Structure 1
Amino acid sequence: MIHQKLIDSLSGQFNQLLAGRPDIPGQQELQEQMRSLLQGTFARLDLVTREEFDAQQAVLMRTRERLEQLEQRLQALEAPAAATDDAPTEG
């Protein structure tokens, strides 16, 4: 899940930052609070996985291609009608 991977990565970076400072009291509690804060923050965000994003992008591309095909068909159908409308009438 994207949330968990990101949380683990950020938490790991934070832990590395704190590892260089063993003199900070309450490091373990601070790390746990930071992890909890990250989980809460990402839980409130409306995130999607890369796979979901790619799937929706593919659907959008197919829809766009279909729309372009339909627009071309419509132009082809309208062209003869427009040509007869523009022709001078005898009278």
Structure 2
Amino acid sequence: MDAKKIEDIARQINDSIPAGVKDFAGNLEQRIKTVLQQQLGKLDVVSREELDVQHQLLLRLRQRVDQLEQELAAMKRDQDS
């Protein structure tokens, strides 16, 4: 998750807290952002770009496997003839 999204979430949480609580807590938004970054850092996630790259690689590999299976079937037919 990028820093902009984390900042937006932290800001939304901060905006929902009453003013008196905000004053008491000091720089609550920064603390929330820090905690969010720490917790999100523990998640096992990949970027959308990495997911797309892996998806394309998988498609190419699937095509290659299909091609090799067809070639093997053709070789078996030739052997049986």
Q: Secondary structure at the match of 2:20?
A: coil
The equivalent of 1:29 in structure 2 is 27
Measured in 2, the distance between the counterparts of 1:6 and 1:47 equals 15
**Structure 2 residue aligned with 1:56:** 54
Alignment-derived partner of residue 36 in structure 2 = 38
Runs of 4+ in structure 1 off by over 4 angstroms are none
- What's the TM-score once normalised by structure 2's chain length? 0.77
Higher relative contact order (CA 8 A, sep 6+): 1
Rounded to whole Å, the distance in 2 between the matches of 1:29 and 1:66 is 56
Distance 1:26 1:79 in 2: 80
- 1:27 shift after superposition: 4.5
1:89 maps to what in 2?
none
Alpha-carbon distance, 1:15 to partner: 2.2
When Rg is computed on C-alpha atoms for both structures, the one with the higher figure is: 1
Identify unmatched segments of 5+ residues in structure 2.
Answer: none
In the alignment, which residue of structure 1 is the partner of 2:10? 11
Displacement of 1:64: 0.7
Unpaired segments ≥5 residues, structure 1: 85-91
CA displacement at 1:9 relative to structure 2: 2.6
Number of equivalenced pairs: 80
Structure-1 residue corresponding to 2:67: 69
